[in-house]
């Protein structure tokens, strides 16, 4: 999820994502068809970055499913099982528990929809963008980033890196977006990403 957010920041700095208030209704039109779903249409990239989509996604149910799989399979097999669907349609198949922006709830689905919107706006998957812009700059040359059945990179789980390469992202943020003298992330993006976005606890319990 942190890599997903960083890549959104890089794409915004390059102008590929001009507005964090771009909405799913505007960027993922094909997934809505003739359905009304007014609240879902107004979910913005900003809402997804803040995990305030309002979607009634039960994160606990996802972990219960994953735990059952982990008992018998390796982590990579668990991720593959999760990805064996169109995760954009899966995410948008959930009802709304709150209006977009109204309440916070930790949500892997929010990060996944962010990945789908990223692809629509930039014309590249998260993995493709990272392999050209971020990973080479950080000296990362060994990774595995799964995608769903539609080719959308998993936005909230599944990226495999060495521990040393994972730590590089933290070091990048500690240095306000600079790496070896090169600005990879704008300092204001680092600041915004690491400051509180609101008050409250998980607002959606799935009950």
Instruction: Compute the distance between CA of residue 50 and CA of residue 142 in angstroms, rounded to an integer.
Output: 29
Smallest CA-to-CA distance from 207 within 62, 56, 52 is with: 56
Instruction: Compute the distance between CA of residue 175 and CA of residue 190 in angstroms, rounded to an integer.
Output: 9
CB 152 within 8 Å of CB 129: no
Alpha-carbon torsion (59, 61, 63, 66), positive or negative: negative
Q: What integer pLDDT is reported at residue 111 of this predicted model?
A: 97
Smallest CA-to-CA distance from 152 within 181, 182, 123, 189 is with: 123
Q: Where are the beta strands (DSSP E) in the chain?
A: 178-179, 182-183
**pLDDT per residue rounded down to tens, the chain (207 residues):** 999 999 999 999 999 999 999 999 999 988 887 665 778 999 999 999 999 999 999 887 766 665 555 555 555 666 777 788 899 999 999 999 999 999 999 999 999 999 999 999 999 999 999 999 999 999 999 999 999 999 999 999 999 999 999 999 999 999 999 999 999 999 999 999 998 877 655 555 554
Q: What integer pLDDT is reported at residue 176 of this predicted model?
A: 97
Q: What integer pLDDT is reported at residue 84 of this predicted model?
A: 83
pTM of the model: 0.89
Residue 110 main-chain phi, psi, to 5 deg: -60, -45
Instruction: Compute the distance between CA of residue 198 and CA of residue 1 in angstroms, rounded to an integer.
Output: 18
Triad 167, 184, 199: Cα angle to 5°: 70
Smallest CA-to-CA distance from 121 within 43, 20, 5 is with: 20
Smallest CA-to-CA distance from 154 within 66, 60, 86 is with: 86
3-state secondary structure 59-82: HHHHHHHHHHHHCCCCHHHHHHHH
């Amino acid at each position: 999820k942190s890599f997903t957010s960083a890549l959104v920041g890089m794409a915004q700095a390059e102008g590929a994502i001009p507005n964090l208030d771009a909405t799913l209704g505007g960027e993922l039109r094909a997934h809505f068809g003739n359905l009304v779903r007014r609240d879902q249409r107004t979910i913005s990239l900003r809402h997804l970055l803040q995990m305030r989509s309002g979607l009634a996604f039960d994160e606990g149910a996802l972990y219960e499913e994953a735990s059952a799989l982990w008992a018998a399979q390796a982590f990579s097999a668990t991720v593959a099982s999760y990805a064996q669907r169109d995760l954009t349609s899966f995410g948008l198949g959930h009802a709304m528990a709150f209006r977009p922006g109204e309440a916070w709830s930790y949500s892997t689905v929010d990060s996944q929809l962010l990945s789908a919107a990223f692809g629509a706006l930039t014309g590249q998957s998260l993995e493709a963008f990272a392999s050209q812009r971020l990973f080479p700059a950080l000296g990362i040359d060994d990774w595995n980033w799964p995608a769903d059945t539609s080719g959308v990179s998993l936005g909230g789980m599944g990226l495999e890196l060495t521990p040393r390469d994972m730590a590089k992202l933290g070091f990048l943020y500690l240095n306000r977006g600079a790496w070896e003298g090169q600005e990879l992330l704008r300092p204001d993006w680092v600041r915004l990403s690491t400051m509180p976005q609101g008050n409250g606890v998980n607002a959606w319990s799935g009950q």
